[in-house]
Structure 1
Amino acid sequence: MIMTVLVADDSNFFRRRVSEIINSDSRLKVIGCAANGKEAVEKATQLKPDVIIMDIEMPVMDGITAVRKIMKFNPTPILMFSSLTHDGAKATLDALDAGALDFLPKRFEDIARNRDEAIGLLQQRVSEIARKKVWMRRQVLIARPSQKTAAASTRHSLTRAFAGSSDTATIASAPMAKPVTSASQFKASGKRYQLVAIGTSTGGPVALQKVLCVLPVHFPVPILLIQHMPSTFTAAFAQRLNGLCKLSIKEAQNGDALQAGTAYLAPGGMQMMLNSHFGAVSIKIIDGGDCMNYKPCIDITFGSAANAYGDKVLSMILTGMGTDGRNGARLLKQEGSTIWAQDEKSCVVYGMPRAVSKAGISSEDLPLDRISERILVEFNLV
């Protein structure tokens, strides 16, 4: 089945360039182009593409406004192109809040070591997020009768849920984690944790926001956040989360002493590790390394957490492409720590969580809108 694409950018040269790349993949086909956000909104309705590639800065109507209108009237998976600047980071995060699923730097040389790698990455991202179209439209149709915004709907559903609540293993033979149904009542495991660690990638900024905004200001342990993100984005993302959440959230710095009630976001382009000295644990930030595919890398941080905390870590793998986090989660499990995975239905891309779940590493597969509830129950905070 060929997936159709709409390309929206005010540069004729860039539209042609992206269209050539997309059309060179037999799975994909560009069925239209738009020179501004207004045209993108109109063509999204007329052509009904499987995915839209959208620039942020465009005349007549900017990309963020166009995303909001498309998601309101004709919800479609959207991949944003962004500049790797501080202002570009803020605008990209606004686009994700508006409903875009993912982003890539507009300068291809910023995302890959060579042209072929960059082309492959773009084609892969477009193919992956195109698969969310049917699910997105179903969710919008369900939500429309309530006339609530997505944010309000999430808050109310979580409130109702709280009120109602009193590879050492091979993929072929590993037991699957038990999915959680809407009727499930969570129970605390009774384990004592000293750290929470969350790894995520594609779709992660919105997922992290949903999880973290519900946690209380006096959360009893520190939290590590590993989000695949460029170096110019993580400071802006940490600042945004800090303004939205009750927790204190910051971009991690070398030497930070871990404190309860604080979440530390791994800086883009670097690796975040833990340094344990006579019972005191601090953050160690090291160079990302040219040979590493992910900077930051979830495997590295999780492996370091296993060494520092043993069986006292509650870790989660959320939406994302690839398998990063599987090896680190395996090390945590070998030490006796707990690993949860986001379920397939609620993921933007069910890559990383699937790798963990199918390897038999995760003990629970959770829908995104119930992960906060599950955390609160586990820490006896409800």
Structure 2
Amino acid sequence: MSLKKIKVLCVDDSALIRSLMTEIINSQPDMTVVATASDPLVARDLVKQHNPDVMTLDVEMPRMDGLEFLEKLMRLRPMPVVMVSSLTERGSEAALRALELGAIDFVTKPRLGIRDGLLSYTDLIAGKIRIAAAARLLPAKRPASGVGAPAVVDAPMLRSPLLSTEKLIIIGASTGGTEAIREVLQPLPPDSPGILIAQHMPAGFTHSFAQRLNGLCRIVVSEAVHGERILPGHAYIAPGGFHLSLTRSGANYVAHVDQEAPVNRHRPSIDVLFDSAAKHAGKNAIGVILTGMGRDGAEGLLRMRQAGAHTLAQDEASCVVFGMPREAIAIGGASEVAPLPEISQRVMAHLTSFGERANRV
């Protein structure tokens, strides 16, 4: 029985990149390049002709910008897209905007030695294309900010200093996670407990991600810095290429950032963060596992639950990729399963009920 190959359309204005992407993809037994395009206007006709399963799309191109094309594509002919972005500040902002518009993931172009550099990404590129081909295309969303932005129903204030300082919210995500994290954080009140986040993301992108969220949320969002105190009303994102874990210094929660070996092939690893929360926060933590491929975070969420934490997993219908939540649910790591739009409400409801129980004691 012949294997049905993933049909890929590569769109890039560089003939060298198109050639290298074709070489990489065609070297895989389960995928093939059905066509290449030098710009989006050519790509538009090739989509109709070849009906590809996945598109790889450059950001900066002549005649039509990749983001403009992506926005039109997701409105008129939604399909899984993997962006190919330069590792620059502008490139990282464009990649995050692409994820907001509906792209499944992105790959960074190497700065030097582009042929050897890109070929060294063969497994990464092939893996992202496989994930994209299997990913769930969620309904197109309006922009997170600006004209046409959806109204965000803000969660009510906690008005309890004890809840804000003693409790922590710990979040892990991978593919599809940048938008899922935004949807969880945006409604949270400025007096919410401190939040630690591990999102699978390469170095150079988490700073832009944190800045973007900081401009959209009522809480303060930043990249985590080693040794800083975890404060209420703040969210701390693991820097790309670094593990983030929780430690204590006396009565204070403190961020620990390091470059120890990858765990589950990831750095940052969600399991590293969740395990540290189980150890140092126990029942005072709330664990949340969001969309993503693989099983990073599943065991850690279970250990958090065993340590007394309340734990949530995103449900299948609202996930881009249901891998990590599925694994966590299967081993009993989730206290409850919820659709993405309800997760921030469920977190706040748990905090409120915990506060009411504490007041009755």
Note if contact 1:318-1:342 (Cα within 8 Å) is conserved in structure 2: yes
Pair 1:214 & 2:187 matched: yes
CA RMSD of aligned residues (A): 2.9
Partner of 1:16: 19
2:236 corresponds to which of 264, 270, 279: 264
1:298 is aligned with what amino acid?
Answer: I
CA drift at 1:150: 6.4
Shift in Å at residue 151 of structure 1?
5.2
Q: Does 1:200 align with 2:173?
A: yes
Partners of 1:8 and 1:97 in 2: CA distance: 20
* Cα distance in 2 for residues equivalent to 1:74 and 1:37: 13
Q: Where in structure 2 are the equivalents of 1:348-363 lying within 5 Å?
A: 348-363=320-335
Q: 1:282 corresponds to which residue?
A: 254
Residue 81 (structure 1) shift: 1.0
Deviation at 1:328, TM superposition (A): 1.7
Is the contact between residue 87 and residue 111 of structure 2 (CA under 8 Å) also seen in structure 1? no
Contact kept, 8 Å, 2:100 with 2:179, in 1: the verdict is yes
Residue in 1 that maps onto 2:160: none
Calculate percent identity across the aligned residue pairs.
37
> The residue matched to 1:105 in structure 2 has which SS?
strand
TM-score by length of 2: 0.85
Q: How does 1:239-254 map to 2 (within 5 A)?
A: 239-254=211-226
Does the CA-based 8 Å contact 1:193-1:314 persist in structure 2?
no
From 76, 90, 97, the counterpart of 2:79: 76
Q: Residue 361 of structure 1: CA displacement?
A: 1.1
* C-alpha deviation, 1:94, in angstroms: 1.6
Residues 193 and 129 from structure 1, CA distance in 2 versus in 1: closer, same or farther, beyond 3 angstroms? farther
In 1: Cα distance, 2:252 partner to 2:349 partner? 27
Letter in structure 2 aligned against 1:21: I
1:5 aligns with 2:29: no
- The answer on 1:38 being equivalent to 2:52 is no
Tell me which residue corresponds to 1:91. Answer: 94
Distance 1:310 1:149, change over 3 A: closer
2:305/2:335 contact within 8 Å kept: no
Per the alignment, residue 275 of structure 2 pairs with: 303
Counterparts of 1:6 and 1:224 in 2: how far apart (Å)?
A: 37
Match of 2:359 in 1: none
Which one-letter code corresponds to 1:212 in the other structure?
A: L
Deviations 1:70-121 (A, max 9, x none): 01111111101112222221111121122211111123999xx998873222
**Equivalence for 1:102:** 105
Query: CA separation of 1:4/1:209 partners in 2, compared to 1, >3 Å: closer, same or farther?
Result: same
Q: For residues 40 and 210 of structure 1, what CA distance do their matches in structure 2 show?
A: 32
Q: Which runs of 5+ in 1 are unaligned?
A: 141-147, 164-189
The answer on 1:124 being equivalent to 2:127 is: yes
The runs of 5 or more residues in structure 2 that have no matched partner are: 157-162, 354-361
- Alpha-carbon offset, residue 3 of structure 1: 2.4
Q: Contact 1:224–1:264 (CA<8 Å) still a contact in 2?
A: yes
Corresponding residue number in structure 2 for 1:149: 142
CA distance in 2, matches of 1:154, 1:374: 23
1:376 Cα deviation after fit: 2.8
1:367 to 319, 339, 349: 339
* Highest RCO, 1 vs 2 (Cα 8 Å, sep ≥ 6): 1
**Aligned position for 1:168:** none
Does structure 1 conserve the Cα–Cα contact (< 8 Å) formed by 2:10 and 2:33?
Answer: yes
1:228 Cα shift? Answer: 1.1
SS state at 1:89 partner: helix
Where does residue 49 of structure 1 map in the other structure? 52
The answer to whether the aligner puts 1:236 opposite 2:229 as a matched pair is no
After the TM superposition, which parts of structure 1 deviate over 6 Å for at least 4 consecutive aligned residues?
113-117
